[in-house]
Amino acid sequence: MKRLQHRAENIYANEQRHVSQASSCKFQEFHWSLNNNGPDLSGVHPLVPLLIYSDRHFPPTSDPQPIRAHSDPQANSHSRIPCIHSNSTRRPMGAVKKPLNAFMLYMKEMRAAVRQEVNERESAAINCILGRKWNALSRAEQSKYFDLAQKERLLHLQLYPGWSARDNYGKRKRKDNHRKITHDSSS
DNA sequence: TATCCTTTGAAGAGT
DNA sequence: ACTCTTCAAAGGATA
């Protein structure tokens, strides 16, 4: 932990020198998506493509299927919609992930740029930097991610109306169920 | 090969 | 109502 923190601090110090250079490329990626793949989304929030084209909800597929979320109540006997991702590359039924929160969306957008910027590959160190950058953002700057996260939650609710976060509780096997307490006591 | 590390925020569980 | 815990992403490190 100390090792990662130290590494992140060094990286962050170096990163500060380049802070003015950081950042604009991701929006260009969105525009690429708009210009090359997607429908006309010129009227929507610039971050919405990140949500709309998210493989969380619409993974790449050669035979896209229409969403039938509420159209077949009999297929929803467990108060969940049938999974629209049925081929092998799609997420199996019962493995619906939590919608991303604002910070997760920020990380997803900025990770590649920060990774390239600091020439660091370890996600734990990058996440420390991203956490600092996130906290350094103004509330106005953060608000677009909170807005997007709200859209993410609404879309998730529409796609998986019966889903609950508890569905994924206990899916991971943890060696230490009190990891956070252990960390706090060890630091 | 599975889990950890590390961050913030949402949501469920427990008190 | 409040606190605690888990899980979302990511990819290198570790057991």
What pLDDT, on a 0 to 100 scale, did the predictor assign at position A55?
59
CA distance linking residue A105 with residue A46, whole number of Å: 13
What pLDDT, on a 0 to 100 scale, did the predictor assign at position A50?
57
Q: What angle do CA A166, A168, A174 make, to 5 degrees?
A: 115
- DSSP H helical segments within A72-178, as ranges? 102-118, 123-136, 139-159
- DSSP H helical segments within A23-92, as ranges? 25-36, 48-52
What pLDDT, on a 0 to 100 scale, did the predictor assign at position A85?
33
Total Cβ atoms within 10 A of residue A5: 13
What pLDDT, on a 0 to 100 scale, did the predictor assign at position A128?
97
Q: What is the pTM of this model?
A: 0.67
Contacts 24+ apart (CB under 8 A), A152-157: A152/A51, A152/A54, A152/A99, A152/A100, A152/A105, A153/A99, A155/A51, A155/A57, A155/A99, A156/A57, A156/A99
How many angstroms separate the CA of A175 from the C1' of C6? 14
Nucleotide nearest A103 (Cα, C1') = B8
Instruction: Say if residues A49 and A34 touch (Cβ distance below 8 Å).
Output: yes
Which residues of chain A (89-128) touch nucleic strand C at CB < 7 A?
Answer: 97-98, 100-101, 103-104, 107-108, 111, 121-124, 127
Residues of chain A with pLDDT under 70: 1-5, 11-94, 175-187
What pLDDT, on a 0 to 100 scale, did the predictor assign at position A174?
72
How many angstroms separate the CA of A168 from the C1' of C15? 25
CA distance linking residue A128 with residue A144, whole number of Å: 21
Contact positions of strand C to protein Cβ (< 7 A): 5-13
CA distance linking residue A108 with residue A106, whole number of Å: 5
What pLDDT, on a 0 to 100 scale, did the predictor assign at position A106?
97
